[in-house]
Structure 1
Amino acid sequence: MTALINLAGLLLIALIISWFWLSQAGGRQRKQDATVSEASVIVKNGVYDPPTLHARAGQTLTLHFDRQDPSPCAEQVIFHGLGVSEFLDSGKVTTVTLQNPPKGEYRFTCQMQMYQGRLIVD
């Protein structure tokens, strides 16, 4: 009887790990793999979602930032190395257009660099 209880406990632990950690990591990886010309980014709970975006060099990239976080830190997004920054209105979607970004990897952050994101241009 004790062996069955221990086995059931181990199965429950494995289910919890796969549900909460492994399934989220897989979903994020699928989001990150797509190369896009247009994407939506949710600003909420101190993060950008998705945290990594892929784009093609020489193509215009349109990003729609949906600011759901009322924190003052979330009010601006800055693309380091591209010279682009935009203020984000709380509760609204703000469109940021990057005209033909060159190949490279660029960080995008809030003004205090607490929110972190990455743009990879191939």
Structure 2
Amino acid sequence: MVLINVVGVALIALIVWWFWLYKPKQIKAGGDETITIVVDNGVYQPAQIQLPAGKAITLRFLRKDQSPCAEVVQFPALELAKSLAVDKSTVVEIPALETGEYDFHCQMQMYRGKLVVG
């Protein structure tokens, strides 16, 4: 009985860490280069990309994870979605953006990332 409670508390702690406390790797981009984002093991790597305002950028998604959830990347604020093929690069052209934060995620929002423009 105690073991079940300990496992339950550990799972709750893991869920809290994953959804609210986890700080993904962040990179800074100048806006002229192509950024490769690897989709694997339930995460986008890097998951946060800092960009200058007013510059377009090219994102290249390389999907290694065969999970159906990783099949599509969506940029809701940009009304943009792309299907990602397994073990192939998919290019997503991001137009010049105004200062702000722009989320991207899979259709179930399990894989999550953010463009930080400023």
Please classify the TM superposition score into its range, dividing by the shorter chain length: 0.7 to 0.9
| Structure 2 counterparts to residues 32-71 of structure 1, below 5 A | 32-37=26-31, 38-71=34-67
User: Structure 2: which amino acid aligns with 1:88?
Assistant: L
Over residues 42-80 of structure 1, what are the superposed CA-to-partner deviations in whole Å (9 max), with x where a residue is unaligned?
000000001100111111110000000001100100112
Q: Secondary structure at the match of 2:53?
A: coil
Q: Which protein shows a greater Rg?
A: 1
The reply to whether residue 114 of structure 1 matches residue 106 of structure 2 is: no
* TM-score, structure 1 normalization: 0.71
Q: Structure 1 residue runs of 4+, over 6 Å off?
A: none
Cα distance change on mapping 1:36 and 1:67 into 2, 3 Å: farther
Q: Is the 8 A contact 2:27 2:46 kept in 1?
A: no
Task: Please list every run of 5 or more consecutive structure 2 residues that lacks an aligned counterpart in the other structure.
Answer: 1-24
How many residue pairs are counted as aligned between the two chains? 94
Q: Is the 8 A contact 1:82 1:101 kept in 2?
A: no
Q: CA deviation at 1:109?
A: 0.3
Q: Secondary structure at the match of 2:78?
A: coil
Higher-helix-fraction structure: 1
* Root mean square deviation, CA, Å: 1.8
User: Structure 1: which amino acid aligns with 2:73?
Assistant: V
Match of 1:94 in 2: 90
- Equivalents in 2 of 1:33, 1:67: separation in Å? 19
Match of 1:77 in 2: 73
Q: Secondary structure at the match of 1:81?
A: helix
- Equivalents in 2 of 1:39, 1:111: separation in Å? 22
User: Structure 1: which amino acid aligns with 2:113?
Assistant: G
Q: Secondary structure at the match of 2:77?
A: coil
